[in-house]
């Protein structure tokens, strides 16, 4: 594989972590960005800075310490005591995150295909368990392909919607009341910081392991930065699309699917499949991270443990999708604030 292809692989794998059910369905974007109206673009700028600073740093550190079998990135960034606390907290937050993802799969299949929510959640749980059983390196190859596909389709949906409904962006203030009901925190600045910290706390172990698979620091760094920029571009476009249809999207579990269906029924059907792939990519990465904390990959114990995680998150994932995001994601974001500060501080010393 040449250098350009490896950079694209890292960019895709970086994006694939973030683009799960919350992002791909638009519910996460609605709660952390669009619900603040025009101020959402201030939140997007904060996220651009945050993702470019924090994510690539974690990958670079993972690459630079890949030969150390005992390397623990949490203790490297946060020190022994706080790192030990985070090493136990992260698996708990990831199980919560998987719960949201699996609920999102059930909501997507139910809303578009009429599949029972329980059945949809069960299908996703089975897919994620299967992905874990094939091993981390194969998993990275799969989800690194999924990430760019989702970005492209998301951008198409957003751009078509914005071009068609651009004039409606002037009406955003009229929908302030209904939009504000979805806000994740008391103001847009806190919401923006929580989104950065949530994604990087949950993704820290995965990002470190991803960096360790690199063949050069340059490829890892450029790939992560490219992935971060592509992600923010998608957020920017989709935020405008959601705002231009605020009267309809603010009350939906899956705003992006509504926008895709407005383009055409066939496009909506294709996009629903893309949503499922996005959920699968994030949830699979979370499954690996949780299981790697407690077991050794490839052992009988790891397979049994993975089965238990899949079963448990399936049961929790039967709860309402939008409610899970509004409760769990901000909580995880607050938990990740100190970690994010530690990473930025360490980056200044690199």
pLDDT at 274: 80
Average pLDDT over residues 246-274: 84
Q: Where are the beta strands (DSSP E) in 278-319?
A: none
Residue 113 CB: number of other CB atoms within 10 A? Answer: 11
Residue keyed to tokens 């029972």: 116
What is the model's pTM?
0.81
pLDDT at 58: 92
Q: How far apart are CA 217 and CA 208, in angstroms?
A: 13
Of 62-66, 230-234, 247-251, the range with the lowest mean pLDDT is 247-251
Name 143's Cβ contacts closer than 8 Å, sequence gap at least 6. Answer: 12, 13, 16, 280, 281, 284, 285
Yes or no: domain 3-349 corresponds to CATH 2.60.40.420: no
Name 182's Cβ contacts closer than 8 Å, sequence gap at least 6. Answer: 30, 31, 34, 35, 250, 322, 326
Q: Are the C-beta atoms of 126 and 310 separated by less than 8 Å?
A: yes
179-236: per-residue pLDDT in tens? 888 888 889 999 999 899 888 887 888 888 888 988 888 888 999 899 899 889 989 9
Tokens of 6: 């490896």
Q: Which residues of 306-321 are buried (b: 16+ CB within 10 A; e: fewer)?
A: beebbeebbebbebeb
Among 100, 125, 163, 129, smallest CA distance to 324 is for: 100
Residue keyed to tokens 């994620």: 128
User: Does position 170 have pLDDT exceeding 80, yes or no?
Assistant: yes
């Amino acid at each position: 594989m040449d250098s350009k292809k490896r950079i694209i692989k890292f960019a895709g794998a970086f994006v694939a972590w973030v683009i799960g059910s919350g992002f791909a369905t638009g519910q996460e974007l609605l709660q952390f960005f669009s619900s603040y109206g025009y101020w959402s673009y201030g939140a997007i700028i904060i996220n651009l800075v945050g993702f470019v600073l924090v994510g690539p740093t974690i990958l670079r550190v993972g690459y630079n310490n890949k030969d150390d079998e005992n390397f623990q990135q949490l203790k490297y960034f946060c020190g022994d005591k706080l790192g030990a606390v985070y090493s136990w907290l992260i698996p708990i937050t990831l199980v919560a995150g998987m719960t949201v993802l699996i609920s999102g799969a059930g909501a997507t299949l139910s809303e578009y295909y009429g599949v029972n929510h329980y059945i949809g959640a069960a299908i996703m749980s089975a897919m994620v368990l299967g992905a874990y059983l094939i091993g981390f390196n194969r998993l990275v190859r799969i989800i690194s392909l999924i990430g760019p596909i989702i970005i492209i389709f998301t951008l198409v949906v957003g751009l078509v919607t914005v071009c068609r409904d651009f004039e409606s962006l002037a009406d955003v203030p009229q929908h302030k009341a209904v939009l504000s009901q979805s806000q994740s925190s008391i103001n847009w600045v806190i919401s923006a910081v929580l989104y950065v910290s949530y994604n990087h706390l949950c993704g820290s172990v995965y990002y470190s392991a991803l960096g360790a698979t690199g063949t050069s620091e340059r490829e890892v760094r450029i790939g992560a930065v490219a992935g971060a920029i592509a992600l923010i571009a998608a957020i920017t476009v989709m935020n405008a699309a959601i705002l231009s249809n605020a009267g309809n999207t603010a009350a939906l579990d899956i705003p992006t699917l509504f926008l895709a269906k407005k383009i055409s029924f066939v496009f909506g059907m294709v996009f629903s499949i893309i949503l499922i792939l996005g959920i699968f990519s994030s949830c699979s990465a979370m499954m690996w991270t949780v299981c790697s904390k407690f077991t050794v990959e490839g052992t009988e114990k790891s397979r049994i443990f993975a089965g238990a995680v899949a079963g448990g998150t399936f049961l929790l994932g039967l709860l309402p999708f939008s409610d899970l995001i509004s409760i769990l994601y901000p909580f995880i974001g607050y938990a990740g604030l100190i970690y994010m500060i530690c990473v930025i501080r360490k980056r200044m010393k690199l």
